[in-house]
């Protein structure tokens, strides 16, 4: 355990600037999503609330199809992961990766803020139950993946600009399978949590506080 902690600290220290930039875009996205949610017009908020309540009522009245839910959640996460991986292999991929991080942050901020204001009083409890658990896994993994992707894209940018062919990233090049397997395991854990645990947690919260 101590070795793992030491390696994590060393990783953060060596790539501090990359982690700061990626985290900053994610945080700005969260703030922008929160602001957008709070700035919705009354009619838009009412329409979205009615849609969400109908969805909750249908979910409570029928058994969830976990296979379909698992597919949808997997696709949703792949829509963030695959573009980041593809962008890392382009010389101009860094801005694209950071924009994707901003969009992910915007999605989190918007959803959490909307859930918080959906019900008066205990809205934050619903937001915590529906948004936070899986993102405690997704966000750190997405940040680490984005840092590695930005490093690769920057290396390719230097190759293109400076015409240097021997630029490489040893940390990633020498351990690509290990990193890939690690990301798959972590994201899979988050997907399983969001598919099989979060819906039950949301139902418990709705029954306990809003029924």
Q: pLDDT digit string (tens) for 187-205?
A: 899 999 988 888 888 878 8
Mean pLDDT taken over the chain: 81
Find out whether 33 and 113 touch, Cβ atoms under 8 Å.
yes
Contact call for residues 152 and 88 (beta carbons, < 8 A): yes
> Among 119-128, 159-168, 169-178, whose mean pLDDT is lowest?
169-178
Distance in angstroms (rounded) separating the CA atoms of residues 50 and 195: 23
Query: CA-to-CA distance for 18 and 11, rounded, in angstroms?
Result: 11
Least Cα distance to 30 among 97, 113, 99, 96 occurs for: 113
Sign of CA dihedral 169, 171, 174, 179: negative
Residue range 49-72, pLDDT digits in tens: 776 666 666 655 567 778 888 999
pLDDT (0 to 100) of residue 170:
45
Q: Left, alpha or beta for 73 (phi > 0: left; psi -120 to 50: alpha)?
A: alpha
Provide the pLDDT for residue 181.
76
Residue with tokens 């220290």: 13
For the whole model, what pTM was predicted? 0.84
Q: Taking the CA of residue 63 as centre, how many other CA atoms within 13 Å lie in the half-sphere pointing to its CB?
A: 3
């Amino acid at each position: 355990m101590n070795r793992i902690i030491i390696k994590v600290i060393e990783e953060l220290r060596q790539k501090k600037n990359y982690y700061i930039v990626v985290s900053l875009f994610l945080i700005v996205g969260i703030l922008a999503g929160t602001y957008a949610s709070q700035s919705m017009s009354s009619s838009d908020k009412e329409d979205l609330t009615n849609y969400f309540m109908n969805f909750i009522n249908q979910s409570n009245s029928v058994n969830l199809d976990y296979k379909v839910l698992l597919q949808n959640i997997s696709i949703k996460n792949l829509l963030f992961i695959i573009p980041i991986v593809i962008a890392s292999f382009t010389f101009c991929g860094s801005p694209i990766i950071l924009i994707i991080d901003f969009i992910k942050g915007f999605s989190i901020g918007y959803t959490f803020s909307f859930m918080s204001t959906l019900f008066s009083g205990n809205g934050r409890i619903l937001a915590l139950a529906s948004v936070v658990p899986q993102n405690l896994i997704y966000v750190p993994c997405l940040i680490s993946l984005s840092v590695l992707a930005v490093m690769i894209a920057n290396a390719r940018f230097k190759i293109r600009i400076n015409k240097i062919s021997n630029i490489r990233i040893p940390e990633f090049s020498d351990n690509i399978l290990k990193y890939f397997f690690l990301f798959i395991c972590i994201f899979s854990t988050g997907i399983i949590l969001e598919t099989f645990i979060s819906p039950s947690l949301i139902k418990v919260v709705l029954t306990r506080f809003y029924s």
